[in-house]
Structure 1
């Protein structure tokens, strides 16, 4: 189908929720009812495939799907021939080594000659090889945390978000080996027509994400402080300055990244800025 693109998205879980939320914020309408495995947008040339996350790299590499949203952990583990178009900044986690919390941990040499259970044998194997550690890797598909307590392995390598699951299973994190976030991937050989649709989707995604990381700032300032204040909030091109009814004062409007705002807030106040308002931005087109 040359006039429509297919995107593979995880069918359930946090990554799925974040992915679909981003797509909806791009103004793309679709129905994804419970148990639905395929859906077509009503206002954008895109079809959705709802799949297991570990199947997504393969579907995109084989050209069944043109695009996919997947965690970098699955992308690297599956090692398929795809292109990474954009890191998406959500579903962040880490892949770490963990051992029973009562064990002493002298360093990575702890794992020399030991057994490690994991669902990520490639990432773990590459890490151990790079650090010249000889260990036996036991690949299991789920419930990795139980492996030490049943005698299958002395340690595990698994995805960690908060660390609470490790604690509940009597484990402690000892080495971080890989950091992951969601990424938009594509088949390496799309047609010109499909690339044009993907460009439109990327434009929308960039506008949404740029808006999320930026704030619209309004403040009042004495005119003799405007030069200093403008240097602190330069905006996309330059701030808008409007005179107030009160002589000698102006209203300054600008756009800043949230980090920039918090870095400069004290200097803005010291320069005489008052009545500072910070407003979220839904989308921002540059």
Structure 2
């Protein structure tokens, strides 16, 4: 029987969508139809389990799944001994303390002897222990943000992304406790065959992530400006410089980080670059 890698994914929501898209770009496709909770991937030896996000750490820890994609917040809260293989750069958020917006916040001491509603009691308790804060923590499974409004708690500790949910419930963020993003985790007891499959999967994911964060740039430059432009565009090793048919001009090709795009473009134009083209990279093998 051919070895398959079994991965646990959140069955719906933003984390599911981002995970599915990443795997699809890595050439690993699966069909989630008819309410199925298990599916086989095409073009890669993998079986997919669709679970609640808070069940993923235990599922991997128990060996039911070999690997999983889960938020760091859930991983930290559950506390299972899993290997974090790779941070994936999506589904970013933070876990923060928030209080009613009309209340004046005077610092962490404000939480002393207050009631805090949260779905992450272990993370919050560790934070308060480190800060020597004595507070009463109420664990709530969902709709944490309504707790102060109905008199259940004085404040909340919850996931914050855009902050719109806090605003809608007349709350304000006052302390960030941790940042979180999606991570790929694995069991500590994978067989050599499954470790090899995981290595292949990571290779594909690295290629996808590198391509998403970089752009291919082509431009024309006068030869007396090429050295300066090459200094601006270091590339992966160094830019490619090719002579143009028009005497005194060259074509320069390189890769730039998307984060530096506009800054670099301005510098290039100041140094005589013309006909600048920016091209998406489908895959980038490092």
Matches within 5 A, 1:15-30: 15-30=15-30
> Aligned pair 1:198/2:198, yes or no?
yes
Q: What is the aligned-residue RMSD (CA, Å)?
A: 1.1
Q: Secondary structure at the match of 1:208?
A: helix
Other-structure match for 1:65: 65
2:107 aligned residue? 107
Contact 1:2 1:191 in 2 (8 A): no
The DSSP-based 3-state class of the residue aligned with 1:106 is: coil
CA deviation string 1:82-135 (max 9, x = no partner): 000000000000111111111111111111011000000011001111111000
* Partner secondary structure for residue 231 of structure 1: helix
SS at match of 2:36: coil
Alignment partners' CA distance in 1, 2:275 and 2:246: 14
TM-score, normalised to structure 2, is 0.97
Instruction: Map Cα deviations across residues 193-224 of structure 1 (whole Å, 9 max, x no partner).
Output: 00000000000000000000010000000001
What is the DSSP-based 3-state SS (H/G/I as helix, E as strand, rest coil) of the residue aligned with 1:77? Answer: helix
TM-score, normalized by length of structure 1? 0.97
Match of residue 36 from structure 1: 36
Question: 5 Å matches for 1:83-94?
Answer: 83-94=83-94
Runs of 4+ displaced beyond 4 Å: none
Bigger drift between 115-124 and 169-178 goes to 169-178
How far did residue 2 of structure 1 move?
A: 6.7
3-state SS in 1 of match to 2:149: helix
Matched residue SS, 1:91? coil
Deviations 1:29-59 (A, max 9, x none): 2211252211001211000000000000000
Partner of 2:223: 223
The superposition leaves residues 244-274 of structure 1 with CA deviations (integer Å, 9 ceiling, x where unpaired) of: 1211001111112123433322221121111
State how far apart, in whole Å, the 1-side matches of 2:180 and 2:105 are. 25
Q: Secondary structure at the match of 2:122?
A: helix
Partner of 1:180: 180
Give distance in 1, aligned partners of 2:42 and 2:72.
30
Structure 1 segment 45-56 matched on structure 2, within 5 A: 45-56=45-56
- What SS does the aligned partner of 1:150 have? coil
Does 2:183 correspond to 1:171?
A: no
For residues 168 and 260 of structure 2, what CA distance do their matches in structure 1 show? 39
Q: Which consecutive unaligned segments of at least 5 residues does structure 2 have?
A: none
Q: Hey, what's the Cα distance between the residues in 1 that align with 2:209 and 2:28?
A: 15
- Deviation, 1:236, is 1.5
Partner of 2:131: 131
